[in-house]
Structures are given as C-alpha cells and as structure tokens.
Amino acid sequence: MFRSRREVTDAAAGADFHSLYSAHYGELVAMLYALSGDLGDAQDMAQETFARAWQRWSSVVTYDDPVAWLRRVAVNLSTSRWRRKGVARRFLERSRVEHVPEMSPDRVVLVTALRTLPTGQRQALVLHYLADLPVAEIARQLGTAEGTVKSWLYRGRAALAAQLTEEAARDGV
C-alpha cells in the first residue's frame, strides 16, 4: 500500500511532535509546578501548552528552539491563570459579608420546625412570610393554583403552631 506525500509528511510531523512531547512534558510540568504551586494546575497547563503547539505545529517545528516557545507559552498560561485567580480572590473578598449575626434560638427552632413540613407548605410559608410575596405571586412562581397555595399556607401555619407549641411546652415556657 502506498502512502501519499501528505500522509508521509503528517506521520513525520506526528513523530517529531511525539518525541518533543516525550522529551519535555515532565520538564514543563516541573517548571509550571514551581510557578503555580499546584500539580494539577501544572499538568493542565502543560497539556494546554502542547495542545497549542500541535495546533501550530507546522510553524513551531521550524523555530530554532521549539522548546523555548513551549516554555514561553507555559509561562504565559501560568501568568494568565495566576491573574484570573487573583481577580476571583479579590471578588470573593469584596463580596464577603463582613458580619453575619448569629441565629437566635427562636430562629433555630423555627427553621427546625420548617424542615419537618412538606416542601410545598415550607416553600409557601417562606415565600409569603419571609419574602413577603402575595398568594398570586407564590402560585405563579411555584407553578400551582392560588387555592393550593392558600391550602399550603393554612396547613403549614397549623403544623408550625402545633410544633412550636410543643417545643415551648418542652422548654417550660
């Protein structure tokens, strides 16, 4: 079976790339690990470097020092990742809530009682009393009839009243 000139050229290019990859992947990971301090990130960046080299292989193979090109791309990837992480860190620091008050014992009891209710009742009560939504809006958001929401509110209030009364009796209030 005869191979075309392109097939022979592609096979040679693939062999050249494979030998470059085999010879320098570990060295590139070690360098990126030293830059990033994270082995997983270093391996990801090394793979990305070689993926970019393969996409441009017809140019990269003609460079005087393709390994220098690999190192430059790897350093650029590391810098970009470091910057992105810095932006994310600063965003999280800015959006972090400075002070979250502790939950009062009453709130803990209420949340515990709400957890025992069926989902529909719990959602209706929270949306109505905590989010201050009218029955029609709750029905629209939950995709149910207004009558169903009214029923959930009635049953949920009754169940909560019973549970909170029992809790108060146990606590001796």
User: What is the rounded average pLDDT of the residues 121-145?
Assistant: 93
- 5-95: CATH topology is Rna Polymerase Sigma Factor; Chain: A (1.10.1740)
122 against 92, higher pLDDT: 122
**For residue 11, what pLDDT is reported?**
52
Residue 4: pLDDT over 50: no
**For residue 9, what pLDDT is reported?**
54
135 φ/ψ angles, rounded to the nearest 5 degrees: -55, -45
- 105-168: CATH topology is Arc Repressor Mutant, subunit A (1.10.10)
**For residue 94, what pLDDT is reported?**
83
Cα separation, 119 vs 137, in Å, equals: 17
**For residue 92, what pLDDT is reported?**
85
Q: Helix crossing, 66-95 with 39-55: angle to 10°?
A: 130
**For residue 103, what pLDDT is reported?**
77
**For residue 24, what pLDDT is reported?**
96
Residue 136: pLDDT over 80: yes
Closest CA to 78 of 20, 34, 25: 34
Residue 3: pLDDT over 90: no
- The answer to which of 7-11, 86-90, 166-170 has the lowest mean pLDDT is 7-11
Q: Residue ranges per domain, the chain?
A: 5-95, 105-168
Closest CA to 147 of 168, 127, 169, 124: 124
Token pair for 40: 């997983």
Q: What percent of the chain has pLDDT over 70?
A: 88
User: What is the rounded average pLDDT of the residues 32-57?
Assistant: 95
Cβ(74)–Cβ(45) below 8 Å: yes
Q: What percent of the chain has pLDDT over 90?
A: 64
- Is the whole model's pTM more than 0.75, yes or no? no
Q: Same CATH fold, 105-168 and 5-95?
A: no
Cβ(31)–Cβ(72) below 8 Å: no
